[in-house]
Structure 1
Amino acid sequence: MTSFAGLLFGRRARLRWIHLILGGALAMPYVLVGSVVVGPVAGDSHVFGSLRLQLASFAVGLPLAAVTSLFPLTRPLESGVVRSLCGVEPDRLAHGPARTKGEKGRTAAWFTLHLGLGGVVAGMSLAVPPFAAALIALPFVPALRDDRMGLPGVLRHTWSLALAPVAGAAMLVALAGCAAVCGTLLARWAPALLGPSAEDRVAAAEARAAALAVRNRLARELHDSVGHALSAVTLQASAARRVLDSDPEFVREALAAIEDTTRRTVGELDAVLGVLRDGDAPGTAPAPTLADDLDGLLHRTRAGGLRVAATVTADPGALPPPVSREAYRIVQEGLSNALRHAGADVTVALRVDVRDDDLRISVENPLGQAGTTRPGGGHGLRGITDRARLLGGAAEAGAEGETWRLRVRLPLKAPT
């Protein structure tokens, strides 16, 4: 019983009832215009004294409403009202004006339905409550039974007087039910008539995909640059602490490498945060590349004590800029994995060469004692795979016996 009362008189039902009454108010100017046409045709100047002529004026006015719905602001205004009063999710409704013929036709159909159903419910909301109230009060107010009130004779019988309050209450419930049904129908039809077109949905999906791609790219940049820097600095500080008394020269070199690593990482972090703040980062530090920054990366990695046997047969300066940038990040992440999982007391074999118009990168290191995946880890390998796929290449990584191998192939030519 409570749920039934909520459906008829709950907050959502009341808001939808208000939406229908607004539709009836919007319909009034069109009804007035329709009465100007219907009155002379029917030969009766008192159009609003006849229910038949009122309905005829209403029928003439609705096509005029459909025509005026072509005004550009109609769809945005109606969508806003539906979102506020009908409980329809914002993403299921269009925000801009109707552009195509199909959108304009659906907007005209919606506006006509809104005004049509709203006019009926608004008219009932004006006429039914006073009459229902009179029926409820009829047994208790003798003045209402006076002949001058014009009540039908049947309402003066005793049994009619006893049933009048029940009939009045039933009329109010029926009015609420009619408003609830009409409001529910409009809320159900709104996404189909006011919702975005297929082109709008495709454009929204493309925008979301573009935003997701930017977010994933920034996440990869932060993970690779900051993650590598933290791993390298941790290893360098640990190595320096172990030989603090016995090898001051190595400690000075490790501290210099820590300073250089943090300075470069702060610059890269500023660049990424600039993209987050402004959507672009003019004037920030350029992204590192294999051509310009591989030697520094190897020097900083070795300064921490990690032995890196690098074989670079490719000419980094001849690589296309996108390939050079992504290759640097891939090498950086490969060395970071070795730092995290193998430790400093191993030798990492790095090989960068060109075969069959592809840049080939391989990183090999013993699994060591830290060859397990840390909690929350694994993002680096996914980032490497994503970078390779963006350029049309491929990446594979895994343990082979006691050795961990990472192999990446990056095409030097754009895929056709």
Structure 2
Amino acid sequence: MKRLFDARARLRWIHLILGGALSMPYFLLASVFVGPFLGQANVFTSTGLQFAAFGVALPTAALTAFFPLVRPLSVGAVRALCAVPAERLADGPARSRAARVRTAGWFTLHLGLGGVISGMTLAVPPFAGALIALPLITWLRDSPLALPEVLTRAWGPALAPVAGLAMLVALAGCAALAGALLARAAPVLLGPTPADRLAAAERRAADLAVRNRLARELHDSVGHALSAVTLQAGAARRVLEHDVEFVREALTAIEETTRRTVGELDAVLGLLRQGEDAGGGLPGPTLDALDDLLARSGVKVACTRYGDPAARAPERVSREAYRIVQEGLSNALRHGGAAPVSLRIALRGEELEIVMENPLPDRAPVVRPGGGRGLPGMAERATLLGGHAEAGAHGDVWRLTARLPAGGAGGTR
């Protein structure tokens, strides 16, 4: 009995009454045509005609449910009133034919059950109230109410309150049953279709791709800056009392490196705040800024270029190439100290080649627990462009090699 009147049952009852209210315009429109068609000027004079008009109204409602926006409105009402888990319902308008057909079925079921329960809600309580009050108010016995014959007999007034309470409980039971039926049908008719699931999976994949790209940008930019700043600060500390000019240059390099990195960090975090989609371009330097990177890297770099890659490589390839070089310099600083680095960047035909070498240290480098994300991130950058990148020991040198497709070199940047 308690479940017939608890909060969930009441909310579902309200949802049914909402369906009845939505069915009224269709019912009134159908009554305009059903009455004259059956030779009656007013359908409200006959219960049969009213049911006929209601039967005609439901297919009309089903047709209007094919509009895409009907589904999100219905889903919102179900989530708020029917206690259906949100993840079992679809998001957004119905785009496919299957989704529209399911929505039309739901809309018809909601309005059909809602119309019946709403009619019962309007009719049953007044009649049940009259029955409950029948023993106390004698004039009700002679009223024009169409009371059953048994209630007019000797024991009739004593049984009337029981009959009235039974009718109210029956009404609540019908409303609870109809509400439970709608709650069970909602995930089937308003749940995601295969096309909706595919679109959601594509959105999740796009979001994950953007997160990975932003993570790589932060790692390469901030990681390189921290490595360079650490090296410059350590070198300045060692010669603090002997070479003031070197300390001044080191502090200047630290200042410029951190200022530039803060700007890049603000740009990437700005994309996070704006919810940038996967199609948006990430900000960042290109090979045009390579000279500044090498000058402030904290290590001597012998750089040779072939084919003018800064001017002719496509912008995306140029940006990823810059980050790959930056990650290579970070590894050289982290593991090789101040050992000189050789860098060759060549644009040959439709391929951009990057080769970076630095001597291996006498002592094996300390590896962070679980490994770093720099080299895998560099490989991901190359793979996403359709290229290849690898790094490893070759004799007594550490060599980084990356080959990136540069089709359309010299085109729009």
TM-score clears 0.5 = yes
* One-letter amino acid of the structure 2 residue matched with residue 301 of structure 1: S
Residue 382 of structure 1 is aligned with which of 376, 381, 392? 376
1:410 has 2:403 as partner = yes
1:347 has 2:339 as partner = yes
Alignment of 1:12-411 (within 5 A): 12-40=8-36, 47-69=43-65, 74-75=70-71, 77-87=73-83, 89=86, 92-96=89-93, 102-137=98-133, 140-141=135-136, 143=138, 146=141, 148=143, 150-155=146-151, 165=161, 167-190=163-186, 192-194=188-190, 202-203=198-199, 205-273=201-269, 275-276=271-272, 287-290=284-287, 292-302=288-298, 315=306, 317-318=308-309, 320-321=313-314, 322-340=316-334, 342=335, 344=337, 347=339, 350=342, 352=344, 359-362=353-356, 365-366=360-361, 368=363, 371-373=366-368, 378-396=372-390, 407-411=400-404
Q: Are the equivalent residues in 2 in contact too, given 1:326–1:387 (CA < 8 A)?
A: yes
Q: 1:37 to 1:390 in 2, by over 3 A?
A: closer
Q: Distance in 2 between matches of 1:373 and 1:95?
A: 45
Q: Distance in 2 between matches of 1:181 and 1:200?
A: 30
Q: Distance in 2 between matches of 1:158 and 1:343?
A: 108
Q: Secondary structure at the match of 1:141?
A: coil
Q: Distance in 1 between matches of 2:397 and 2:163?
A: 85
Shift of 1:398: 6.7
Q: Are the equivalent residues in 1 in contact too, given 2:67–2:100 (CA < 8 A)?
A: no
Q: Distance in 2 between matches of 1:378 and 1:404?
A: 20
Shift of 1:159: 7.9
Q: Are the equivalent residues in 2 in contact too, given 1:335–1:363 (CA < 8 A)?
A: no
Which moved further from structure 2: 271-280 or 230-239? 271-280
Shift of 1:119: 0.6
Deviations 1:179-216 (A, max 9, x none): 23323333444455456665565555444444443343
Q: Secondary structure at the match of 1:146?
A: helix
Q: 1:9 to 1:334 in 2, by over 3 A?
A: farther
Unaligned runs of 5+ in 1: none
Deviations 1:318-356 (A, max 9, x none): 37244333232122223323434x373x63655546699
1:5 has 2:34 as partner = no
Q: Distance in 1 between matches of 2:197 and 2:43?
A: 47
Q: Secondary structure at the match of 1:301?
A: coil
Q: 1:99 to 1:383 in 2, by over 3 A?
A: closer
Shift of 1:253: 2.6
Q: Are the equivalent residues in 2 in contact too, given 1:48–1:54 (CA < 8 A)?
A: yes
Q: Distance in 1 between matches of 2:156 and 2:353?
A: 96
Q: Distance in 2 between matches of 1:182 and 1:33?
A: 25
Q: Distance in 2 between matches of 1:184 and 1:348?
A: 75
Q: 1:259 to 1:192 in 2, by over 3 A?
A: same
Q: Distance in 2 between matches of 1:99 and 1:335?
A: 50
- TM-score, normalised to structure 1, is 0.75
Q: Secondary structure at the match of 2:353?
A: strand
Q: Distance in 1 between matches of 2:185 and 2:133?
A: 39
Q: How well do the aligned residues superpose, as a CA RMSD in angstroms?
A: 4.3
Unaligned runs of 5+ in 2: 409-413
Match of 2:411 in 1: none
- TM-score, normalised to structure 2, is 0.76
Q: Are the equivalent residues in 1 in contact too, given 2:328–2:400 (CA < 8 A)?
A: no
Say how many residue pairs are matched: 396
